Copies of this chain bind each other. A is one copy, B any other.
Amino acid sequence: MLDTTVSPLPTSVTDNGDPVGHNRSDREPIAPDGWPVLGQRYEVPARHGRAVRLKQGQAIKIINTHGLQVCDTWAFKADDLSEFMSMEHARAFIDRIIPQPGDPLVSNRRRPIMTLLADTSPGVHDTLIAACDAYRYQNLGVHEYHDNCADNMRLALKAIGLRAREVPQPFNLWMNIPVGADNGIQWLPPVSKAGDHVVLRAEMDCVVVMSACPQDIVPINNKQPVEVHFEVLASA
């Protein structure tokens, strides 16, 4: 049952860009300052988030290790987190609702912050659905704290000493939300396979945040949230 009339959540905290709840995402950075070892494979644990810094020209390879996992992905300009990869601007820039290899991904100032360089999966991703958050699970009938991508983004940034003013619409890698001719959407498991990956090149110094989506009620992760991995490459 939907219950949208009463909210026991400390929403005034969220308003300031802080998470509603906690998991380990704020205590397990890849490095205190977020800088990666180039070429090293890092894990985004199931239901958790990680942030990593990229210099302009470097690339990040994000790997769907087990094949049926959604990875919510954000990018923020390193020295000004109020500029970020924005799906509503990206869609207008590329005239598509799902980016394809070669597509620039623009920021809310309509300049490329990343480019989708490569994609070994069938290319089914989502740009339409907000990051899951505490309200989402409350609406789905969960009364305790549930890990969620919005908090994972906030916590992963906090782990490297950063804070964003808002939770932008993420680039939901491998999320399978087909849009029908009637404008209806469906929530389906990914069509990717184990080991599929995408490569995104940084077009400016930026911070990339990933959340291994903890959604286990609707089937977008095949109801089995698992880990994903990533590597930062010197160039691409």
The residue in chain B whose Cβ has the minimal distance to the Cβ of A138 is B110
Contact B86 A130 (CB under 8 A): yes
A7 within 8 A of B: yes
A5 within 8 A of B: yes
- Identical chains in the assembly: 2
| Given known A97-B179, A185-B97, contact A106–B4 (CB-CB < 8 A) | yes
CB proximity of A202 to chain B, nearest CB, Å? 15
Q: Which listed residue, B7, B91, B98, B109, touches A7 by the CB 8 Å rule? A: B109
A166 within 8 A of B: yes
Contact B5 A130 (CB under 8 A): no
A133 within 8 A of B: yes
The residue in chain B whose Cβ has the minimal distance to the Cβ of A4 is B111
A98 to B133 CA separation, bound complex (whole angstroms): 22
Query: Could you show 21 A-B contacts with beta carbons less than 8 Å apart?
Result: A4-B111, A15-B82, A87-B88, A88-B128, A91-B129, A92-B129, A92-B130, A92-B136, A95-B185, A95-B187, A96-B183, A96-B184, A97-B185, A108-B130, A110-B135, A110-B136, A128-B128, A165-B165, A165-B166, A166-B166, A179-B179
